[in-house]
């Protein structure tokens, strides 16, 4: 069984754990603090997920963007880095910040992460070198695609192109994690535009 994504309703949010209701089933998902803090009970949420299978446990880890999921999967492939440590890294560093830390061989960037000592930090830098640029670039490209899709949707709904573009940029600035996801960016832009008259 592979659960690669969840699209449902937030049933509960405690610490770094969300329960997402999908089709009458509540899925417990471990997430980063920013994701948990931004979740509202009763609100819809879409997550990219990675299922960790162990002999006595199935654990689901959720991410708002594909770039975060890609970074998580690269992190857990490093010897000695488990899912919880990988989630801890992403709680402190965005995929782009992680890429810069690895490229710059910045061991200090990992010091704030629980469970990541000097040896593991060096190992992360060594084994991730050259691997994180692609996810970061993909996220940038996907962000551009999402902006174009949202602009098309908003102009189709009757907003002027300039008005729609301004709302998209404001939404992207206020919530950078929304940029790579068309649906999330669209909702954020619509919230900014509000119910006012279209022009």
The tokens describing 162, both together, are 């300039």
Whether residues 33 and 56 share a domain: the answer is yes
Q: What angle do CA 73, 79, 85 make, to 5 degrees?
A: 60
Whether residues 72 and 125 share a domain: the answer is yes
SS3 sequence, the chain?
CCCCEEEEEEEEEECCEEEEEECCEEEEEECCHHHHHHCCCCCEEEEEEEEEEECCEEEEEEECCHHHHHHHHHHHCCCCCCHHHHHHHHHHCCHHHHHHHHHCCCHHHHCCCCCCCHHHHHHHHHHHCCCCHHHHHHHHHHHHHHHHHHHHHHHHCCCCHHHHHHHHHHHHHHCHHHCCCHHHHHHHHHHHHCCCCCC
Residue 173 is assigned to a structural domain of this protein: yes
Whether residues 71 and 127 share a domain: the answer is yes
For residues 12 and 18, is the Cβ–Cβ distance under 8 A?
yes
Pairing of the two strands 44-54 and 25-30: unpaired
Per-residue pLDDT of the chain (199 residues; tens, 9 = 90+): 678 999 999 999 998 999 999 999 999 999 998 899 888 999 999 999 999 998 888 999 999 999 999 999 999 999 889 999 999 999 999 998 999 999 899 999 988 788 888 899 999 999 998 887 544 445 555 556 778 888 888 888 888 888 888 888 888 877 666 555 677 788 888 888 876 545 5
Whether residues 53 and 71 share a domain: the answer is no
Query: What are phi and psi for residue 142, nearest 5 degrees?
Result: -65, -35
- How many domains does the structure of the chain reveal? 3
> Domain holding 59: CATH number?
2.40.50.140
Whether residues 71 and 123 share a domain: the answer is yes
Query: What are phi and psi for residue 5, nearest 5 degrees?
Result: -165, 160
Structural domain boundaries enclosing 56: 5-63
């Amino acid at each position: 069984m592979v659960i690669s994504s969840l699209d449902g309703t937030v049933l509960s949010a405690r610490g770094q754990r969300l329960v997402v209701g999908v089709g009458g089933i509540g899925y417990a998902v471990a997430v980063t603090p920013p994701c948990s803090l931004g979740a509202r009970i009763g609100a819809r949420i879409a997550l990219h997920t990675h299922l960790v299978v162990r002999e006595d446990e199935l654990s689901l880890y959720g991410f708002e963007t594909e770039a975060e999921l890609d970074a998580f999967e690269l992190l857990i492939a490093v010897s000695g880095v488990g899912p919880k440590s990988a989630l801890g890294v992403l709680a402190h560093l965005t995929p782009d910040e992680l890429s810069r830390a690895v490229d710059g061989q910045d061991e200090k960037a990992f010091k704030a992460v629980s469970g990541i000592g000097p040896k593991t930090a060096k190992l992360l830098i060594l084994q991730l070198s050259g691997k994180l640029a692609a996810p970061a670039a993909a996220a940038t490209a996907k962000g551009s695609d999402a902006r174009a899709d949202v602009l098309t949707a908003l102009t189709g709904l009757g907003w002027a192109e300039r008005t729609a573009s301004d709302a998209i940029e404001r939404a992207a600035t206020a919530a950078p994690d929304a940029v790579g996801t068309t649906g999330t960016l669209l909702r954020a832009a619509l919230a900014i535009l509000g119910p006012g008259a279209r022009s």
